Amino acid sequence: MTETNTQQTERPPRNAQLRQNELIIRRFVLNQPASRMGLRPGWFRNSLTGEEREHLRCHLLCWRRGRVYFEGGDATMPTCKSNDGLKPSPVIDQPKREACGSVDSEGNFVPECPLAAWRYRNGTRCAPPCRETWSFLGILEDDDLPFWISLKGASLRPARRLLSMCYELMRADRRDLLDCGITISARLVEGRSFDYYVVAFSDPQWLAKSDKRRKQLKRKLRKFGRADIQATFDAEQSDAEPPALAG
């Protein structure tokens, strides 16, 4: 009697999926005209896969302050950085100071590191060499997955306007930031020496309080709201090759 070996395709267990603390949240980076990577200027690039999008239609879950300092004009890696804007990140071996600064009773940032302080040069008030950053955690509408976007420099001005408007409406109508649906795009600025893009936000569209989408977004906030953007930065700096894009 001849034995017949039947090969069966092994199926992954039903719970074989990334746990919450294992998921690396993608980050979208605004491509600039000066980039040498052959990217489309003014589009947003997924830093993990290379996918590019012209717009990001999304809901914002939360946002966080940070700081980043590059020593030298050609530096590609930060010399010092902070993920909360108050103390250096633990990934920095030799931080410039033990603390970036603190927050006073009125919520104002008080610098302790001289690199984080505004200064005057020839009578002109100049921004700190260690630049403030804002990182937004959002959910894209088309795939319902989380993403980060980090803003600094001239892109902070439209972000401040958006948040100021949102928080005014939130206080008046008892809403949450995640109720606000927006489109993130890019706006070209013609500078004196070179042109560059800054982030632009559409007027917010608010979910109705009875909309079921609100409960879905609140679950997303509970699931991803404590995510650490440093995990994304670490993945971006990995030597591993990024996965190939489908299509």
Residue 212 to residue 234: CA distance in whole angstroms: 35
Residue 237 to residue 130: CA distance in whole angstroms: 21
Domains of the chain: which residue ranges?
28-236
How many residues does this entry show for the chain? 247
Q: Which parts of the chain sit beneath pLDDT 70?
A: 1-22, 36-38, 73-76, 238-247
Two tokens, residue 61: 């879950």
- In order of 58, 79, 80, 99, 117, the CA distances from 112 in angstroms are 36, 17, 14, 6, 8
Q: What are phi and psi of 155, to 5 degrees?
A: -75, -15
- Structure pTM? 0.81
Q: What DSSP line would sit under 178-244, residue for residue?
A: GGEEEEEEEEEEE-SS-EEEEEEEPPPEEPPTT-THHHHHHHHHHHHTT--HHHHHHHHT-SSPPPP
Which pLDDT score, from 0 to 100, does residue 86 have?
A: 93
Q: How many CA atoms lie within 13 A of 92 on its CB side?
A: 21
Which pLDDT score, from 0 to 100, does residue 108 have?
A: 87
Q: What DSSP line would sit under 145-171, residue for residue?
A: -EEEEEEEGGGHHHHHHHHHHHHHHHH
The beta strand positions in 9-118, using DSSP E, are 26-30, 44-46, 52-53, 56-69, 80-82, 101-103, 109-111
